[in-house]
């Protein structure tokens, strides 16, 4: 019985560690997507400015 409890506790600890690692990975992906969004918006503004300059 005690070994089953110890095993369950060990698995719970491993799951918690994996969850923290996954959360860190998701945070990095979120940051990368935010940067990509910023660059996309900047590129759109530059294209719009270039189009306006070429039409005048």
pLDDT band at 1 (very low <50, low <70, confident <90, very high): confident
CA distance 45 to 56: 17
pLDDT averaged over the chain? 95
CA distance 27 to 21: 10
pLDDT value of position 5: 84
Note the pLDDT tens digit of each residue in 6-33.
889 999 999 999 999 999 999 999 999 9
The stretches of the chain forming alpha helices (DSSP H) are 2-55
Rounded mean pLDDT of 25-44?
A: 98
Question: For residue 38, what are the CA distances in angstroms to 19, 20, 25, 31, 35?
Answer: 29, 27, 20, 11, 5
């Amino acid at each position: 019985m005690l070994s089953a409890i110890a095993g369950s506790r060990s698995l719970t600890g491993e799951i918690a560690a994996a969850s923290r690692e996954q959360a860190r990975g998701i945070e990095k992906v979120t940051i990368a997507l935010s940067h990509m969004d910023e660059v996309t918006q900047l590129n759109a503004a530059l294209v719009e400015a270039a189009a306006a300059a070429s039409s005048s």
